[in-house]
Amino acid sequence: MNDMVKNLLIWGVIAVVLIAVFNQFSSISSSGQQVSYTTFYSDITNGKLKEVHINNKEIAATTSSNSNYVTYIPYFDNKLMDDLLKYNVPVFGTPEEKPSLLTTILISWFPIIFLIGFWLFIMRQMQGGGKGGPMSVGKSKARMLTPDQVKTKFTDVAGSEEAKQEVTEVVDFLRDPGKYQKLGGRIPKGILMVGPPGTGKTLLARAIAGEANVPFFTISGSDFVEMFVGVGASRVRDLFEQARKHAPCIIFIDEIDAVGRKRGAGSMGGHDEREQTLNQMLVEMDGFEANSGIIIIAATNRVDILDPALLRPGRFDRQVQVGLPDMKGREQILAVHVRKVPLDNNVDLSVLARGTPGYSGADLANLVNEAALFAARRNKRLVSMDEFEEAKDKINMGTERRSLTMTTEQLVNTAYHEAGHAIVGYLVPEHDPLHKVTIIPRGGALGVTFFLPEGDQISQSKTKLESMISTAYAGRIAEGLIYGDDKITSGASSDIRYASNVARAMVTEWGFSDRLAPIFFEYEESSYGPMKKISDETARIIDEDVQAIIKRNYERAYQLLTDNIDILHAMKDALIKYETIGKKQIAELMGRKPVTPPDGWTEKDEQAVKAVPTEGESEPTSKNDIGPDDSSSSNS
Ligand code: ADP
C-alpha cells in the first residue's frame, strides 16, 4: 500500500512539473475575440483605435468604444508600424519575458534531473531495495511456498527409487542441520536433476521440501533473463537474499539451461546478460556456507550444454538421474494417480503399465485424467479398462505427448540393437562389465546398454579400445543380421561416430598404428581453420590404418553375433518382457540358461505379459545408440 502511495506521489510530481513547463512555453493569450487583419487595418486608417499592444505576431487592440479584440500579423510588414505612427495610434510593445530563475533551472535541468531520478529509481529496484510494485524489475520472480503449502511427500513420487534414495540424505539434513554441522559433515549445496520433461523432477524437489517441512522457492531459469543487462543478476541476488531469510529452505530452478549454458559460445557478444546472471549465480553459490541450510536443486534435460563451472565441486556437484520409468515404475506411478479415481474391477494397472512403454510420469498422470474424463462424459460411475484404452489412443495419436511414442516394432528393433551391444560387450576382452540393458528411452537414445567401469579410467589398453569399437558396432550388426543389411537405417550414427573417433585417436594420438611411429599427429587451429602438420602420404596412411582397425573389429563383432545368434534372440525376448535386465539376467542369458525375473516381478506381471503381447518382428524403424558416456552415466 505504502509503495503505491509512493509511486503515485512520484508520478504526481512529474505531472506537475510537466504542466508547469508546458505553461511556460505556451503564449499568454490575450482577451477578446479574434478579427481579421483587414478589419484591423481599416480600423487604423479609420481612426477607430485607442491603443495597440504588439507581442510578436499577436496584436491586441482596444477600440475607441473600449472593446478589445486580437488579430495576428499574417506576414512581416514594415508598413504597419509606419501606418500606426501615421494615424497616431498609441503602440505598446511587450517586454521580453524573463522567466524566473526557478523556471530556468527547471527547464534546462529538468531532463537531466528526470533521467538521473529515473536511473536511481531503477538501480534501487535492481538492488532489491524496493518492495514489489509494478516497476520491480530486479526482484526475483521466485514463488515461495511455505511448509504448509507443500503437501507433496515421497509417497507421491513413484517409481524413482534410486533418485529418492539419493536425496533422502538431503531431507535428513534439512530437518536437522545442526546434527551435520556438529560432525563437520558437508552436504551438497546444489543438486542437479537430469532427465526428460515430465519425469517428476519438480515433483521430487517438492517432495524433498515436503518431507523436510521447509519453505520451497521455485523459479524457472528463463525467469532470470530479461532484455536489460544486470536484471538477471540482481534477480539472482534477490532470490538468494530471500532464501537466506528463510533458511533452511530449498530453491528449485527449473530449466537451468536457460541461464546455465556454456559461456563464450558465439563470440559475437549479446550474451552479456546471460553471462552476468550465470556469474552471479556462481558467486552466490560460492558465497554461502555448505551448512547454511539452503539447498539448490536445478532441473535440466541437457547436462552436456551446461557451463562446466556450474558442475564444479561446491556447486551442482551432485547429479540425480531421473529417467523415464520402466514397467514397474509405470505401474507404481499409475497407482499413485488412480488413488482418487473410482476404478472398475477390470482395470489392471500392470497391464496398463505394460502397454505404455516410453510414457513419462506426466504422460501417465494425463492418461488417468483422460480416462476419468471419458468415463464422466459417458455418465459412468466407475472408470473401466475401455476408457483407459481410449485415453491411450488419444494420447498416442494426439499432440499431448511430448515424449517418444514407442511402437511394438520399435521396441523389438531396439531390443535387438541393445542385445547386440550387450552380447559383444560381454564377450570381447577387457571390456567394462555390463551393468544393465534397457529398452526404455534415455537421453535421446531409444535404449541404453550400461557398462560400469571398474576403478578409475586413467588410461586404456589397446585391447580394451578395440573391444569398445567392436561393441559400438554390434547394435547395428545385430539389426543387419535379423532384418538383412538392406534394412539397416541411419539411426546408429552416434555409435559410428564414437567408434570412428576412438579409432582415429588410436592412430593419431595414442600411437597404436600398425605402420606409423607413435607420433602425435596434430591439427592446429589457425584463422583459416585446422592446419595439417602432416604430409599427404601420412594422412593417407592414417586413414588406412583407421579403416583397418574399424574393419577388423567390425568383423569380430559380426562373428561373435553370428556364433551367438540364439542368445541374441533370447536376450531380445527377455528385454521385451522385462524392459530392463540386470547383471544376473545377462549372465544367465550368456550361459544359455533360463532367465529369472528381475527383483519385484510378480505373478500379476507375468499375467500382464500374457495379456499384452509385444511379439512380432518387423522392419526396423529407428535406431538407438550407445554413446561414449553411457558407461559413466549410469547410476548405482
Ligand atoms: P518435470 O519437472 O520432470 O518436467 P514434473 O515434476 O513437473 O516433471 O511432473 C509433472 C507431473 O507428472 C507431476 O505433477 C505428476 O503428476 C506426474 N509425475 C511425473 N513423475 C511422476 C512420478 N514419478 N510419480 C508420480 N507422478 C509423477
Cβ-based neighbours of 520, under 8 Å, separated by 6 or more: 508, 509
In a domain, 511, yes or no: yes
The pLDDT score that the predictor gives to residue 419 is: 94
- 343 and 412 belong to one structural domain: no
Specify which residues 145 forms β-bridges with: 216
Q: Which of these, 282, 283, 277, 280, lies nearest to 228 by C-alpha position?
A: 277
Highest mean predicted confidence (pLDDT) among 81-90, 123-132, 388-397, 547-556: 547-556
Ligand 1 contact, 157 CB (< 6 A): yes
In a domain, 461, yes or no: yes
Ligand 1 contact, 201 CB (< 6 A): yes
Q: Which is higher by pLDDT, 227 or 144?
A: 144
Ligand 1 contact, 144 CB (< 6 A): no
The pLDDT score that the predictor gives to residue 457 is: 61
Last residue within a domain, chosen from 338, 372, 397: 397
The pLDDT score that the predictor gives to residue 553 is: 94
The pLDDT score that the predictor gives to residue 566 is: 93
Q: What proportion of the chain, given as a percentage, has pLDDT over 90?
A: 16
The pLDDT score that the predictor gives to residue 471 is: 94
CA of 86 to the centre of ligand 1 (A): 97
Mean pLDDT of 494-516: 86
- 477 and 621 belong to one structural domain: yes
CA of 439 to the centre of ligand 1 (A): 21
CA of 11 to the centre of ligand 1 (A): 46
- 452 and 504 belong to one structural domain: yes
pLDDT band at 448 (very low <50, low <70, confident <90, very high): confident
Ligand 1 contact, 614 CB (< 6 A): no
Task: Lowest mean pLDDT of 31-40, 286-295, 387-396, name the range.
Answer: 286-295
Last residue within a domain, chosen from 376, 397, 418: 397
Alpha-helical runs (H) found in 440-524: 462-483, 493-508
Q: For ligand 1, atom 11, name the residue with the nearest CA.
A: 362
Ligand 1 contact, 336 CB (< 6 A): yes
Task: Lowest mean pLDDT of 334-338, 482-486, 513-517, name the range.
Answer: 513-517
pLDDT band at 477 (very low <50, low <70, confident <90, very high): very high
Ligand 1 contact, 203 CB (< 6 A): yes
Q: How far is CA 106 from CA 111, 115, 264, 433, in A?
A: 9, 13, 46, 81
Ligand 1 contact, 333 CB (< 6 A): yes
- 304 and 355 belong to one structural domain: no
Which domain does 336 fall in, by range? Answer: 327-397
CA 510 to chain centre: 38
- 220 and 265 belong to one structural domain: yes
In a domain, 125, yes or no: no
Contact 628, 499 (CB under 8 A): no
The pLDDT score that the predictor gives to residue 150 is: 81
pLDDT band at 552 (very low <50, low <70, confident <90, very high): very high
pLDDT band at 629 (very low <50, low <70, confident <90, very high): very low
CATH number, domain of 537, equals 1.20.58.760
The pLDDT score that the predictor gives to residue 290 is: 61
Of 153, 199, 367, the residue with max ligand 1 atoms within 8 A of its CB, to mutate for a pocket test, comes to: 199
Q: At what angle do helices 408-427 and 462-483 cross, to 10 degrees?
A: 150
Report the catalytic residues: 418
State yes or no: pLDDT of 402 exceeds 60.
no
- 174 and 277 belong to one structural domain: yes
CA of 403 to the centre of ligand 1 (A): 13
Asked whether the bond before 313 is cis by omega within 30 degrees of 0, the reply is no
* Number of domains forming the structure of the chain: 3
Between CA 287 and CA 285 the distance in angstroms is 5
Of 203, 330, 349, the residue with max ligand 1 atoms within 8 A of its CB, to mutate for a pocket test, comes to: 203
In a domain, 316, yes or no: yes
